[in-house]
A and B are shown apart, each in its own frame.
Chain A
């Protein structure tokens, strides 16, 4: 069974700190990985995608992928109160369907 697992949270960090979110997946054949942010009552919005092993940086966000360990993470640097949301890890499995983790709720304390 294809699964995407995220640390359950909630994760509370002070403003300006680094928030670290983790995700593991079960299908070794997966090729594409995505992080979405979802505010309460809203639909998900894409933050980053990563296809290759290593780090990918975009502004305050860094995605890290390790296919051997079947692990993908998201770092949020200089966390802001507006970053408070639920972060969804999504993995495109070998059948091209996108599956989501349960999400990690992040709260940034001012």
Chain B
């Protein structure tokens, strides 16, 4: 089945620093990837849609200058949390559809970010 690899699985950083999270589709090409965020005991909230070769589209309320997304190739998308603050501590999960628009999303293992 389709595999999405996400790295790192966890990271601890200090306030004000930036953190980069990588998401790779291992056995398929993904022109679109999705970044979600999940706070404890809450559901997944879509942050942005990463588009290969063009700018990402962000959901309402998500700061594009704070959460930088780059979709460098058909198998790699990165999310950089810039100037991180404790309130950015969360579980960040990337996902990609393996086929047509209707196909299920396959999720990476997620990145647990803790900002101290």
Contacts and interface: CB of A to CB of B under 8 A. Distances in A.
A and B: real partners? yes
A97 interface: yes
B44 A88 contact: yes
B46 A102 contact: no
Interface residues of A, number: 23
8 contacts: A34-B105, A41-B112, A43-B91, A43-B107, A45-B107, A46-B104, A46-B105, A88-B43
Contacts of A90: 105
B102 A98 contact: no
Interface size class of B (residues with CB under 8 A): 20 to 34
Contact of A97 (B42, B49, B91): B49
B7 interface: no
B108 A43 contact: yes
B102 A42 contact: no
